[in-house]
A and B are shown apart, each in its own frame.
Chain A
Amino acid sequence: MSLSTQPPKEPFRLGQLLSDTRYRSITIQVVALVLFALGLWWLIGNTAENLKNLGKTFSFDFLGQRSNYDINQRLIPYDSTSTHGRAALVGILNTLLVAAMGCVLATVIGVIAGVLRLSKNWLIARLMTVYIEGFRNVPLLLWILLIFALVSESAPAPRAFANGDANMILWGTMAITNRGIYVPSPVFTHGAWLIAAAFVVAVGVAAWLRRKSLREQAATGKPPLPLWQAAGVVLGLTGLVYLLQGGIVFTLLFVVQLAIIAAIFIYVRRFVRPALQYVPSQRASATATALGALTALLWAIYISPALWHMLTGVFGTPAFTPSITLDVPALGGFNFTGGFNVRNSLVALWLALSLYTGAFIAEVVRSGIVAVPKGQSEAAAALGMPASRSMSLVILPQAMRVIVPPMISQYLNLTKNSSLAIAVGYMDVRATLGGITINQTGRELEGMLLMGVFYLALSLIIAAAGNWFNARVKLKER
């Protein structure tokens, strides 16, 4: 670099702020910043003046005041003597619940519909097209209202169960009514620790087996222990301990039941597994094992007591009582009492959100699959790989790169759309904090600000989690 070409240093002139490219960009940014600050200042000043003219103050004190209203679905203890802050929290949890349930179901529906739309079976492919286009092109609100009307108009009222016009299903443990689905809830008693211990041991065993078989696959190419078998280990061991608490007859009956369930499962999995199973890495497999084990836990504490309930109905109460029993809903007065009530508002909102977003996810999945070059599936076919295996082992893993980023925004959409809950009276954060609380306290500005902050934070968290996952599965370039 030669110094002689350096131009002589000129004194700084004001005109250079516009004419000199070195300063111009900074000038523009400073001006923009000042304008933005002025706009913000005007907005805040305007708000403050309006509030003053209306004689209102800006304060979040209302969050600590007694709410005085009741909420029908609460995941945490709450009654009308609780505070508005707690009511908001109840609403937040309800929002999170329906969003989480919606994301899971929408993914399942979307992946299946997306894959099936590409099916060579003409009927299945067209049916999926009808579903996808139907749901994508009709506003979500209409679907929510339609499904709500379906579930509340088609099911019988609890009164119908009293006079025998309707019957409970699943061995008398579950009732579908026009107010919601009443399902049994688990009750834990003295010996529950034994089940928990058996569960922990079983998870350890299953994880060890799975790891071992994955190492074996890496070394020899032998297929690893399927996930359902790993989950079956957990399920079987835990269930066995559970049943032994009730005596030998029940244990034997359980084993027979289990064999039937396993047979059905093996049969079904031949059709379902190829479309769903996707094993990109060992760590992902371990995660999936954990999920399988969790499912098994749910089985152990939930479905097996239902089985128990049925068995006691047939064989009478055994000498020993199991440590986990079910609180089975029973008619009491106007409604069923006991168990959980999965309200129609939740069911309608959940199904509508899932089906609607699922249609979009299906298109995302389809585009991801189509984006994988045809040569990949042809190569797999040339190796003699059946279509189902080539989908799960060749196509879907590559399609993931295309699928994951738009998926994140679908999850965001679903979460934000859950605020349409108001249409069916589901008590989400929009209905508690953004509805009744605002209305009863007159704190519109504060309430809306809090809601904005909540949805913003939730969206950012979902986006961050999605991006983290995307970074893990995307093509690694080195």
Chain B
Amino acid sequence: MKKPLVFCAMGALALGAGMAQAATLDDVKARDVLNCGTNTGLAGFAAPNADGVWEGFDVAVCRAVAAAVLGDPMKVNFVPTTGATRFTALASGEIDMLSRVTTWTFQRDVELKFDFVGVNYYDGQGFIVPTALGVTSAKELDGATVCIQTGTTTELNLADFFRSNGISYEPVPIETNAEGQQQYLAGTCDAYTTDSSGLAATRATFENPQDHIILPEIISKEPLGPLVRHGDSDWADIVRWSFFALVAAEEFGITSANIEELSAGTDNPEVNRILGVEGNLGAQLGLDAEWAKRAIAAEGNYGEIFAKYLGVDTPIGLERGLNAQWTEGGLQYAPPFR
């Protein structure tokens, strides 16, 4: 257990001395459960299902890492975090990794001392408004009241967008997506802004989704991805390559259906290396040979996960767009497994 980073100045008690940079992998193995920080609830990305089991696009990354490291995708302890609490949770060691629609920014990477391991969703910030308002562009929102989750990049983009367009707005700060949704539907704010994927996910849960439109303007780049603490590169590698294994699996056609068949050995040496038939990639990570196979088998490859939680056949109905494989004209691209 790491010593806590933050403790209130008054009467703080940081108990226990120890190495702050102990290997996270060892901690996770000793604990036999992965502490994964995730959302407090965002349909499609991370939310408990009817049985109380967490599922979603971000959750799948946690499951893949747990499968790779501990051999069981269910050995994950999900820690719901808000936009404001997530970084403290990660920095303090309360969670081993954060997979929660978090935008990769310079400041978070460099100043806040985190390592982003990849981008599992290329997104951009948008606005949703009731159709009845008759607004067709974000630039018509002069004087509007806008609900915004505090402690997020979207909060900063919002200020910049209105400022640079010379229009005004009133921010209504909220803590969680659920709160934003409630206030937006109650009409307390005219518009709600967050990543456009989040807007689609939120709209999917509305009673009358057709009464709300997502405005065409995308006002920012929001590369969302999992991240770990800075300073433990071995652990970062494990999370990074577990995620890349999912992306590569889609590229090479490894699916949850054919993975057993393929792991008997194929003509493609890269597939063989990923599945542990050839080479010693697992050993180099400090894991066994079948780490990636388990990660992929957990919830399927990247494409399968996308289709299952976010795709056009789900209520959220997101197109692959930028998140298609690079071979399909998208940005998803796993470096070579060699």
Tell whether, in the assembled complex, residue A444 and residue B20 are in contact, meaning their CB atoms are under 8 Å apart: no
Is A47 an interface residue when CB atoms closer than 8 A count as contact? yes
Choice from A68, A427, A444 contacting B6 with Cβ under 8 Å: A444
What residues on B are CB-neighbors of A347 within 8 Å? none
Known interface pairs A46-B14, A53-B231, A179-B145; A435-B91 also in contact (CB < 8 Å): no
What residues on B are CB-neighbors of A69 within 8 Å? 155-156, 159, 171
Place the interface of chain B in its size category. Answer: 35 or more
Is A378 an interface residue when CB atoms closer than 8 A count as contact? no
Tell me the minimal C-beta distance from B240 to chain A in angstroms: 19
Tell me the minimal C-beta distance from B123 to chain A in angstroms: 19
A99 to B50, CA, bound (A): 43
A152 to B147, CA, bound (A): 14
Tell whether, in the assembled complex, residue B160 and residue A68 are in contact, meaning their CB atoms are under 8 Å apart: yes
A50 to B5, CA, bound (A): 6
What residues on A are CB-neighbors of B4 within 8 Å? 50
Chain B 115-157 per-residue mask, 1 if CB under 8 angstroms from chain A, else 0? 0000000000000000001000000011111000011000110
Known interface pairs A54-B91, A178-B188, A334-B144; A444-B10 also in contact (CB < 8 Å): no
Known interface pairs A50-B3, A425-B173; A439-B145 also in contact (CB < 8 Å): no
Is B320 an interface residue when CB atoms closer than 8 A count as contact? no
Is B17 an interface residue when CB atoms closer than 8 A count as contact? yes
Tell whether, in the assembled complex, residue A152 and residue B173 are in contact, meaning their CB atoms are under 8 Å apart: no
Chain A 108-128 per-residue mask, 1 if CB under 8 angstroms from chain B, else 0? 000000000000000000000
| Prevailing SS type, chain B contact patch | loop
Tell me the minimal C-beta distance from A156 to chain B in angstroms: 8
A53 to B229, CA, bound (A): 11
Tell whether, in the assembled complex, residue A70 and residue B159 are in contact, meaning their CB atoms are under 8 Å apart: yes
Tell me the minimal C-beta distance from B335 to chain A in angstroms: 26
Tell whether, in the assembled complex, residue A427 and residue B173 are in contact, meaning their CB atoms are under 8 Å apart: yes
What residues on B are CB-neighbors of A445 within 8 Å? 5-6, 9
What residues on B are CB-neighbors of A43 within 8 Å? 12, 14
What residues on A are CB-neighbors of B159 within 8 Å? 68-70, 80
Chain B residue nearest to A442 in the complex (CB): B112
Is B312 an interface residue when CB atoms closer than 8 A count as contact? no
Q: Could you say which of A228-236, A282-290, A448-456, A460-468 contacts chain B? A: A448-456
Chain A residue nearest to B111 in the complex (CB): A442
Which of chain B's residues 7-59 have a Cβ closer than 8 Å to chain A?
7-10, 12, 14, 17, 20-21
What residues on B are CB-neighbors of A53 within 8 Å? 20-21, 231
What residues on A are CB-neighbors of B20 within 8 Å? 49-50, 53-54
Tell whether, in the assembled complex, residue A47 and residue B14 are in contact, meaning their CB atoms are under 8 Å apart: yes
Tell whether, in the assembled complex, residue A72 and residue B172 are in contact, meaning their CB atoms are under 8 Å apart: yes
What residues on A are CB-neighbors of B231 within 8 Å? 53-55
Tell me the minimal C-beta distance from A465 to chain B in angstroms: 22
A441 to B230, CA, bound (A): 16
B interface residues with partner A (beta carbon < 8 Å): 3-10, 12, 14, 17, 20-21, 83-84, 87-88, 91, 107, 111-113, 133, 141-145, 150-151, 155-156, 158-160, 162-163, 169-175, 183, 186-190, 229-231
Contacts A/B (CB < 8 Å), 8 sampled: A54-B20, A54-B229, A54-B230, A55-B230, A178-B188, A435-B151, A442-B91, A442-B111
15 further contact pairs, Cβ within 8 A, besides A46-B17, A56-B113: A43-B14, A55-B113, A69-B155, A70-B162, A80-B156, A178-B186, A334-B141, A335-B144, A335-B170, A425-B173, A425-B174, A436-B150, A442-B111, A442-B113, A448-B9
Question: Can you list the 7 inter-chain pairs with the closest CB atoms, starting with the nearest?
Answer: A53-B20, A439-B151, A80-B159, A157-B187, A442-B112, A444-B6, A333-B143
